[in-house]
Amino acid sequence: MKYIVPVFIFVVLVSCNSTNSVITNNPANLSKPIGPYSYSTRYKDLIFVSGQIGIDPLTNTLKQEIDEQAIQIFENLKVILENNGSDFDHIIKTTIFLTDINQFERINKIYSSYFLNHFPARSTIVVVALPKNANIEIECVAVKKQA
């Protein structure tokens, strides 16, 4: 019994000194976020990527057509994932927001070209409007690649 209290105190002190924290990431080679959010947050090996619209980081403007927007979103996601030690093979969940369900098949074709080894779990939601009048927004959850 006399050893239980010191062991308990030791366990509490070790757990209080945990270095696990939430890390935010805004890659310098992307446009500044359009609102009060981070492009991604990471906790341990989990990476939560905010919804992305098709903004070209070189011109800071939204691409015009939905195909162009979707491709730009995936290129921006690639940058965000790389900055977090991940890639498309490590995405575990995506959510797609579309303003026009009739574009679903066009988006599926582009989407499938970015996932070569597996398809993550996915939801597709039709919405009335998106920021900057975008036609599509994609968010995802990924894990870090193991070294």
pLDDT in tens, 38-88: 999 999 999 999 999 999 999 999 999 999 999 999 999 999 999 999 999
Q: Which two tokens stand for residue 117?
A: 């080894």
For residue 43, is it within any domain? yes
pTM over cut 0.95: no
For residue 15, is it within any domain? no
For residue 77, is it within any domain? yes
Distance CA 72, CA 124 (A): 18
For residue 64, is it within any domain? yes
For residue 106, is it within any domain? yes
For residue 96, is it within any domain? yes
Query: How many domains in the chain?
Result: 1
Task: Domain of residue 45: give its range.
Answer: 21-143
CATH (domain of 97) = 3.30.1330.40
